[in-house]
Amino acid sequence: MTGSNFDIQEYLSEGVESILKDAMRATLKNPKESIYLLKFSKHARKATKIRQRYEQNGKNIPAFLIASITSSCNLHCTGCYSRANDACSDDEPVNQLSGEQWDDIFRQAKEIGISFIVLAGGEPLIREDVIKNASKYPEILFPIFTNGTLLGEDYMKLFDDNRNLAPILSIEGGEEVTDSRRGAGVYGQLIESMKVMKSKNIIFGASLTFTKENISSLISNDFINKLHDLGCKVVFFIEYVPMNTETIELAPGDSERDLLFGEIDRLRNDYRDMLFMSFPGDEKLSDGCLAAGRGFFHINSHGGAEPCPASPYSDTNLCETSLVEALDSNLFKSLRDGGILMDDHEGGCVLFEHREDVEKILHKNVKI
């Protein structure tokens, strides 16, 4: 299913069904989680039909949304693209969306058929008000990408009571590499939090940022066995996005992607009670990058609708418009129609490589 025969909605719908089947398989020994996923599967099928109705009217609604609910973070991770893009700081957030505004965005997302909303930051656990609002929408699954340092009993109870909230802990590998990037003692906190969640049968995952240098260690049996024994059920392999031109050499290329995709097939067979996913995944399979609403888009902490977190450009704000209208913004339409997202590139982020072209669209209203 490539080229002119490629159907983005069919691709994403099949992907959602595959995710749910794998997730059900990974939770057969956890009745509370299985019951929720059975209900969510029904919601997801309904959401697919909603998106298909929009498509028939000429509007593409993605199944996925990424929401950076705060620009504040309590860590200073080496190579953080959010800090490099001035999208994250230690300062008290200014003009951040309120809990009520995020609640309205979640409501709109449910109504137009969005099934997955990734909660990110900054550090999303800083915004307990937003996460509590998210718990009110069982029709949507909310993976929460967190550094794991703010997990306490209150959050453990919230996650246990609301199975649509799934904490995804960022870890770089072993103790030395994790603490060198995230700070001394962070690895120990992550391990202790994983042990607590395992004892409470809370489903959680791990987010692994892979580069040309570390991919072999992250897919090793030793490391995956460690996560498995700690109770981790979901593993996200996230492509490293360069924060500047000096770090482009770390961005994975085709050889690293091919290695990862082959190993993910092996891991899925070897670890039947775990779910393995990659992001952004094989762009060639999806006929290009899925940003700007082709498969997902990003809302920053101020409400700006952006192509993706690694491409912090926006001409539309959710304080002034709806989700459906934001997906039809000039920036998004120009990126989807202009060929940039389907461009061949060396690895990493195609929008990072074409950032000057994106800026032209944004500031000069020029279609590429």
Tell me how far apart the alpha carbons of residues 314 and 307 are, in angstroms, rounded to a whole number.
8
pLDDT in tens, the chain (368 residues): 444 444 555 655 565 666 667 777 777 777 788 888 888 889 999 999 999 999 999 998 999 999 999 999 876 666 565 655 555 666 666 789 999 999 999 999 999 999 999 999 989 999 999 999 999 999 999 999 999 999 999 999 999 999 999 999 999 888 888 888 788 899 999 999 999 999 988 889 999 988 888 899 999 999 999 999 999 988 999 888 766 666 677 778 778 888 988 898 899 889 888 888 887 654 555 567 888 888 899 999 999 999 988 888 899 999 999 999 999 999 988 888 877 776 655 555 677 667 777 877 777 654 44
Spell out the residues 6+ positions from residue 320 whose beta carbon is closer than 8 angstroms to its own: none
User: Which of 321, 32, 352 is closest to 161 using CA atoms?
Assistant: 32
- Residue 72 lies in domain: 3-364
Tell me how far apart the alpha carbons of residues 203 and 33 are, in angstroms, rounded to a whole number.
8
322 in helix, strand or coil?
A: coil
Strands 116-120 and 298-299 come out as unpaired
Q: Strands, E, within 320-362: which ranges?
A: none
- Cβ count near 191 (within 10 Å): 17
Tell me how far apart the alpha carbons of residues 130 and 96 are, in angstroms, rounded to a whole number.
12
Total count of domains within the chain: 1
What is the CATH classification number for the domain harbouring 127?
3.20.20.70
User: Which of 214, 210, 163 is closest to 34 using CA atoms?
Assistant: 163
Considering Cα of 227, then 72, then 293, then 5, what sign does the dihedral take?
negative
Whether the model clears a pTM of 0.95, i.e. scores above it, the answer is: no
Spell out the residues 6+ positions from residue 187 whose beta carbon is closer than 8 angstroms to its own: 171, 174, 175, 178, 179
